[in-house]
Amino acid sequence: MSEIEAGRGAVAPVKSQEGGEGLLAALALAGGAGVLAAFFGAPAVRFWANALLWFCFYATVGLGALFLAALEHLVGARWSVPLRRVAERAGSLVLLAVLLGLPLLFSLSVLYPWTRPEARHEPFVSGKLDGWLNVPFFTARALATFALWGLAFAVLAGLSLRQDRTADPRLTLRLRRFAPAFMALYAVTVTLLAFDWLGGLEPAWYSDIFGVYVFAGSFLAGLSATALGTVRLLSRGRLPGVERDHLYNLGGFLFAFLVFWSYIGFAQYLLMWYANLPEEVFYYADRAQGGWPWVMAALALLHFVLPFFALLPRDRKGDPTLLRRAAALVLVAHLLDLYGLIFPSLSKTVVFSWPEAAFALAFGSLFCLWMRRAQSLGADMPVGDPFLRDGLEFRL
Amino acid sequence: MSDKAFAVLGLFDSPDGLLAAIPRVRALGLGRLEAYTPYPVHGVEKALGLKKSPLAGMVLVMGLVGALSAFLFQFWATGIDYPIVVGGKSPLAWQAYIPIVFEVMVLFATFTAGLGMLLLLNRLPFYGHPVLSSRAIAAVTRDRFALAVEALGEELDVQAARRALEEAGASPVEVVPLPAPDGPYSPNALLRGLLAVAASCLAAGLLTYWGIKLMPVLPPMVHMEDQPRVNAQAPSAFFADGHAMRLPAPGTVARGFLPYGPASREEAAALPNPLPRNAAVLALGKARYGTFCAVCHGPLGDGVPTLTAAYGAKPANLQSRTVREYPDGVIFDVITRGKNAMPSYAWALTEEERWAVVHYVRVLERAQNARDEDLK
């Protein structure tokens, strides 16, 4: 019980004494200046494509982390209770995603070909314009998803934070009742994120499995952010009682979903490559020209081969150093994945120069800064959760 | 029963007692330590100092071997030895190999994991581990925890082991004797006998097969093999051209297929269309045109194909003045014998269907080149 008492002692807002936040803020500001320069100096498509990339990154990481937290409530898992707060904190990224997504709604005519008049004459697009792909409906869908993300975060994190203070076990029951609703909400909104924001760049293209593909990437990214936060808190002694066994489960999840992501991604590619239908295969033809094959090969290497073999041995999955490196690698690979989903649809050759670098600097630093500031959200573990003790006693 | 000891076994009342005893007994180094518990006890494997199972490495290696052999086999079979083009893909297209590579990798890995665990690591099959005949085993399957000091091949210092276990808190302590060597009718001997029979059956079968194949001293069923006939596509010394297969005699006509009359396109131009121009005929022509012609000549007959023209040659525009001025017989002749890059479609369309298509082509032409009186 003493560990839990110690955990509750940490509820008092400990002013983060760690250095580096000033540096991160300075980097974000410098990057922000570059972003501003890109707004005036770079083609509008480049600017908004980068904004879309980081919007999708924040949204997928945040949603993936919320999914992990809700998964615990859904299946009644005990082992992940001590780590749930880390996931809930990472879930706050959906708020940042919404902030970034709102201005993106004004860029639709720049990014999306279906907003242009000539889309009326595109064979595979014209039929979708009235029912689905039009600016009012798109905006309505986007606003609805933003509201649902905010609601999901408010419920999942809000009730859990309230439980820190009240230690009321009924809140756990309420969260368990909310979890299935969150799953439905998550499935629909991630599919909308995939089909609307990413698939909309190639409105003629059609793939049933694309939503699942984006889901797999999202869960991996949320899991990686959670693993990074866990290892970081652990190394500072802020998660007393969390053992290698908990890390092993995170590593095992990461390993399993790396394979899942690759399976879905390759399945989509194999079927389209085999069938060779013009309305499907052009998506991959776009990615087989210019320098894009190298990007795709790098994606396969960084998003599958390297982390797969790194996490393959049993002992490695619970190794904090390795888990931290693998999780960071998967996050970077997830960025590359989104880059490969967005940019080849807009450009025949690989584009990467100062606008991309400025965006990466600004929003990458902002990401790190946000994740650090989120560490002051509530106690480091859900100290009011009746299953915390069970969770801490979890052994493989 | 021999008088040699297999192990000295001590019982503990609780898992904590067992865990506390293991390091004390282990420090003496009397023999191989083994714990027997009614359920898995956390920390026992660490206390016993068990090495990590080599199974994971075996599975990894065999999985990679499976993946590699599946890849190389497909590469060799469909890419090198007998290249097959499927769906316009290169015979060496690696993408198509991946599902099989994956499946064979899983097959090799799971078989290695299952059989390696059972046969290599656990030394199955055998009947009756010696500890199963101890008096303590009944309690171990219920609520007691046993620690055994097992002989490492050589003699076991029974007295020292007994003392060590008693000092560590075990009670009672018992000596498990080494089982007597197998008699001729023991289950183990029986199993070995069965395995020997199976192995000799397999060896005899293989020997017979390869023996007959490589050294045909006594070919079985010789009368069926020695028939006075030649095989299809085999060479033959009997015929002057050296081929066993014969060409049909000149002038042979297959049943139901009359030879095509006109010798030249000019001759064909004089053929009249024997079919009436009615709804049934046009429906037939439209259906056949949609199936066989539209992919190249386009649904309107304007030479804009429904499939991307991947074949280089540009299909003829049936709306062109040249085609419009062809007599029916010429179009019929082109369908029958082909023209330029267009092959003959006589295999696909009966004569009646060809004439129906000719009618339908006329309809298409008229639809695109309407006269004034058509609009009234």
Say which residue, B243 or A56, is predicted with more confidence: A56
Q: Is B298 left (phi over 0), alpha (psi -120 to 50) or beta?
A: left
pLDDT tens, B51-107? 888 999 999 999 999 999 999 999 999 989 888 888 788 889 999 999 999 999 999
**Chain A contact for B51, CB < 8 A?**
no
The model's confidence at residue B308, banded by pLDDT at 50, 70 and 90, is low
Q: Is B50 on the interface with A (CB under 8 A)?
A: no
CB A359 within 8 A of CB A35: yes
CB-CB under 8 Å, A276 with B87: yes
Task: Inform me whether the pLDDT recorded for A2 exceeds 50.
Answer: no
- B227-248: average pLDDT: 85
Name the percent of chain B lying above pLDDT 90. 40
pLDDT-derived band at B341 (thresholds 50, 70, 90) equals: confident
Strand residue runs (E) in B309-360: none
B95 CB within 8 Å of a chain A CB:
yes
Q: What's the confidence (pLDDT) of residue B182?
A: 73
B60 in A contact zone (CB under 8 Å): yes
Judged by a CB distance cut-off of 8 A, whether residue B235 touches chain A is: no
What is the structure's pLDDT at B221? 66
pLDDT on residue B315: 85
In this complex, the residue of A266, A276, A312 whose CB is nearest that of residue B98 is: A266
Q: How many inter-chain contacts (A to B, CB under 8 Å) are there?
A: 20
> Which residue, chain included where needed, has tokens 């046969």?
B119
Helix (H) / strand (E) containing A292:
helix A292-300
**What is this structure's pTM?**
0.75
Per CB-CB distance under 8 Å, the chain A contacts of B60 are 312
Helix (H) or strand (E) holding B34: strand B32-36
**pLDDT tens digits, one per residue of A37-70:** 999 998 999 999 999 999 999 999 999 999 999 9
Dist CA B288 CA B354 (whole Å): 8
User: Smallest Cα–Cα separation from B75: which of B89, B87, B90, B92?
Assistant: B92
Q: Which of A126-135, A250-259, A307-316, B182-191 has the lowest mean pLDDT?
A: B182-191
**For range A144-165, the mean pLDDT:** 95
- Chain B partners of A395 at a C-beta cutoff of 8 Å? 42
The predicted pLDDT at position B254 comes to: 82
Spatial distance between the Cα atoms of A389 and B5, rounded to a whole number of angstroms: 46
Mean pLDDT in residue range A307-319: 92
| Mean pLDDT across B237-248 | 88
pLDDT at residue A386 greater than cutoff 80: yes
- B270 vs A: CB within 8 A: no
| Burial of residue A134, with CB atoms counted within 10 A of its CB: 0-12 exposed, 13-18 middle, 19 or more buried | middle
Cross-chain Cβ contact A274/B60 below 8 Å: no
A191-248 pLDDT, tens digit per residue, is 999 999 999 999 999 899 999 999 999 999 999 999 999 999 999 999 999 999 999 9
Closest CA to A75 of A165, A183, A157: A183
Among the residue ranges A105-119, A186-200, B153-167, B334-348, the one predicted with the least confidence is: B153-167
Mean pLDDT of chain B: 87
- Give all strands of the β-sheet with B145-150 in edge-to-edge order: B32-36, B145-150, B5-12, B173-177
Which pairs with CB-CB distance under 8 Å and at least 24 residues apart come from A272-275? Answer: A272/A207, A273/B95, A274/B87, A274/B89, A274/B95, A274/B96
What's the mean pLDDT in B151-155?
76
Residue B176 pLDDT > 50? yes
Name the minimum distance, in Å, from the CA of B301 to any CA of chain A: 20
* pLDDT at residue B154, as a whole number: 67
The answer, yes or no, to whether residue A3 has pLDDT greater than 50, is no
| Mutation for B interface: A270, A271, A296, A394, most B CBs within 10 A | A270
Read off the pLDDT of each residue in B333-358 and give the average, rounded to a whole number.
91
Reported confidence tier of residue B1, pLDDT bands at 50, 70, 90: very low
Whether residue A270 and residue B95 make contact (CB cut-off 8 A), yes or no, is: yes
**Residues B158/B5, Cβ–Cβ less than 8 Å:** yes
Residue of B nearest to A270 (CA): B95
Greatest mean pLDDT range, A329-333, B162-166, B223-227, B319-323: A329-333
Spatial separation of the C-alpha atoms in residues B357 and B353, rounded to whole Å: 6
Among A236-240, B219-223, B274-278, the range scoring the smallest mean pLDDT is B219-223
How many whole angstroms from its chain centre is CA B283? 45
Instruction: Provide, rounded to the nearest whole percent, the portion of chain A with pLDDT above 90.
Output: 83
Out of A81-90, B96-105, B241-250, which region has the weakest mean confidence (pLDDT)? B241-250
Q: Which residue type, as a one-letter code, is found at position B83?
A: P
Q: Which of B56, B98, B308 sits opposite A270 (nearest CB)?
A: B98
Tell me the residues of A at the B interface, defined by beta carbons under 8 Å apart.
266, 269-270, 273-274, 276, 278, 312-315, 395
Confidence at residue B310, expressed as pLDDT on a 0 to 100 scale: 55
Mutate to test the interface with A, among B98, B100, B106, B306 (most CBs of A within 10 A): B98
Interface confidence, given as ipTM, is 0.82
CA separation for the pair B209, B162 (Å, rounded): 59
Q: Is B201 on the interface with A (CB under 8 A)?
A: no
Of A274, A278, A314, the CB nearest to B308: A278
* Banded model confidence at residue A10, pLDDT cuts 50, 70, 90: very low
pLDDT per position as a tens digit, A280-295: 899 999 999 889 999 9
**pLDDT interval class at A115 (50, 70, 90):** very high
Structure tokens at B372: 């004034």
CA distances from A179 to A152, A155, A156, A191 (A): 10, 10, 8, 18
Most confident of A32-46, A326-340, B221-235, B265-279: A326-340
In the predicted structure, residue A35 carries a pLDDT above the cut 50: yes
Mean pLDDT of B293-306: 84
**In this predicted structure, what is the pLDDT of residue A9?**
39
Amino acid making up residue B305: P
pLDDT tens digit sequence for A158-179:
999 999 999 999 999 999 999 9
